[in-house]
Structure 1
Amino acid sequence: MERLQAAGHRVTVINRGSTPPPAGVEHLVADRNDEAALTAALGSRVFDVVVDQVCYTPVQAAIAARAFAGRTRRYVMTSTIEVYDPATAALPPVPTGTPVPEEIVDPATWQVAMDLPWHDDAYLEAHYAEGKRQAEAVFARAGGFAFAGVRSAHVLGGGAQEFTGRLAHYVERVSAGDEITVHAKALPTVFIHYQELADVLLWATTADFTGPVNACSDGPLDVHQLAAIIGTQVGRKPVLRTVAADEEASPFSFDRHYAMSNARAKALGFSFGHTGDWLPGAVAETLTTVPSPAARN
């Protein structure tokens, strides 16, 4: 929002009212799951571009597609690397070490099932990746506007703003000398700094490409490399323990390959930073939010 404002754009935010927007931003309050309320809140407004950062199901996508049909020329949805997780769908195999391209999950042909229990929180949590895949598919076929889906890598940075707590998990455990559980053959994944993701969304908002595009910094890391960078930052060697085949490992330890390619975004004109350049700063931010080992004892 702030980047759009700084670029001279007029911005309107639509949410349920729990988070106020920055000064100078028009604020509309509506529940996106209530089509009548959303349509009423929009009134007669029209928009050059809509950026949707909280669409998780095909049902939500269908409501939005109807509500914004005829109101905007372009719709940008924030999607996720998780659409490529081979544990969550029957996807074409990609050789380990080959970055996964967008065409592995084609929203133009992906099957949509509106009758699944998308309203159930437990079901939605267990089917997060499929919800995103089907939401993309609905928008791609809506026809009332040009659609682009930004498939974000794992987002890090921002200290307390990093709401998943996954980087804090590592920083806290490495700092305390606690063990980190990893797979026997942990594979790399890709990351993006939260500010870089904001830059990607700004670029996607003002560009004219359509379809999915992957957003990740250069420099994939496996869990060993991630822990080593954190260890250097905190001055302590990480303690890693290999899990059994049926045991859960720490976040960012992956036993399957789905690290994304960012080649399409680069070809379209976006220039990514390198994970190794910004990760130490993200770790430093996180260190200000986690308790010190002394405070924990």
Structure 2
Amino acid sequence: MINRGSTLPPVGVEHLVVDRDDEAALTAALGTRTFDVVVDQVCYTPVQAAIAARVFAGRTRRYVMTSTIEVYDPATAVLPTVPPGTPVPEESVDPTGWQVAMDLPWHDDAYLEAHYAEGKRQAEAVFVHAGGFAFAAVRSAHVLGGGAQEFTGRLAHYAGLIARSEEITVHETALPTVFIHYEELADLLVWATAADFTGPVNACSDGLLDVYDLAEIVATPIGREAVYRTVPAGEKASPFSFDRHYAMSNTRAKALGFSFSRTTDWLPGAVAEALAALSAAPTD
């Protein structure tokens, strides 16, 4: 496991502490180590991808990068038109033809946050052209589950709003998106390490949900109805309320042999975990 020391590895796992942005330090930390597969969970820019591609060339046969559904967001890039309601396939964003700009201010945190999707698109493009190992990009849907450890905290956010009868802001026409449970994403990443496909693959559970579907599932165990407020076009709404379409298709992953669950099968359990975490949280 390689990181800057912010997260400790499981017992028995070797831990290298190094900043991935420091190419010389990363090379020195790795020494003569080689790997069967590298799984990169935190590559956000083409600059980081280029460093990793140089450092790991010849050290691994396969490199799997965790990417994101956000690469398909039509608000952040000009993409091929997909018929409304049609889940977006991988070829809608082809990293082999995506332009890379290394001279953009990728080291600026504010710039990176505002250009998260473009950073992921360009990182994929760098790896695709780098050579030195087989490369696959796992484009993850919105990840949910884990209770207090859910890194976005969005289920808890919705649960809190509904429990307090506070408004959920939504678009006039809220379009559906796709989700994946964190354990299913972990399973898919493990599967991807042993597979032999290359290029991008979408990772999402079966079934599209819009913000109303999600809120209803969250509201059911609380015993209250969600309260909505519609925002004008262009105004920011609650998480998972989208006024643009980029729900993904998981057809390629299925054809390659991965079986997905249905979102509605695991989401109630994830909601229960979020509610339990809220109940256990200290109050002022």
Band the TM-score falls in, shorter-chain normalisation: over 0.9
What's the counterpart of residue 252 of structure 1? 240
* TM score, norm. by length of structure 2: 0.97
Q: Distance in 2 between matches of 1:104 and 1:85?
A: 11
Q: Distance in 1 between matches of 2:105 and 2:279?
A: 39
Q: Distance in 1 between matches of 2:18 and 2:235?
A: 42
* Contact residue 84 and residue 104 of structure 1 kept, 8 A: yes
One-letter amino acid of the counterpart of residue 112, structure 2 = L
Report the 3-state secondary structure (helix = DSSP H, G, I; strand = E; otherwise coil) of the residue aligned with 1:108. Answer: helix
* Contact residue 231 and residue 237 of structure 1 kept, 8 A: yes
* Contact residue 155 and residue 218 of structure 2 kept, 8 A: no
* TM score, norm. by length of structure 1: 0.93
Aligned residues: 282
Runs (4+) off by over 6 Å: none
The counterpart of 2:95, out of the listed 100, 107, 112, is 107
One-letter amino acid of the counterpart of residue 290, structure 1 = L
Gaps of 5+ in 1: 1-12
Q: Percent identity?
A: 80
The counterpart of 1:174, out of the listed 142, 162, 168, is 162
1:197 and 2:185 correspond: yes
CA root-mean-square deviation = 1.1
What's the counterpart of residue 273 of structure 2? 285
1:35 and 2:27 correspond: no
CA offset at residue 290 of structure 1?
Answer: 2.4
- Aligned runs of 1:43-122 on 2, under 5 Å? 43-122=31-110
Report the 3-state secondary structure (helix = DSSP H, G, I; strand = E; otherwise coil) of the residue aligned with 1:214. Answer: strand
Q: Distance in 1 between matches of 2:88 and 2:215?
A: 24
Q: How big is each residue's C-alpha offset from its partner over 1:141-173, in whole Å with a ceiling of 9 and x where there is no partner?
A: 111000000000000000111121222111110
- Aligned runs of 1:119-134 on 2, under 5 Å? 119-134=107-122
One-letter amino acid of the counterpart of residue 60, structure 1 = Q
1:217 and 2:192 correspond: no
Q: Distance in 1 between matches of 2:6 and 2:79?
A: 38
Gaps of 5+ in 2: none
Q: Distance in 1 between matches of 2:138 and 2:6?
A: 25
* Contact residue 100 and residue 261 of structure 1 kept, 8 A: yes
The counterpart of 2:135, out of the listed 147, 150, 154, is 147
CA offset at residue 291 of structure 1?
Answer: 5.5
One-letter amino acid of the counterpart of residue 202, structure 2 = N
Q: Distance in 2 between matches of 1:91 and 1:291?
A: 43
Q: How big is each residue's C-alpha offset from its partner over 1:212-237, in whole Å with a ceiling of 9 and x where there is no partner?
A: 00000001100011111111121111
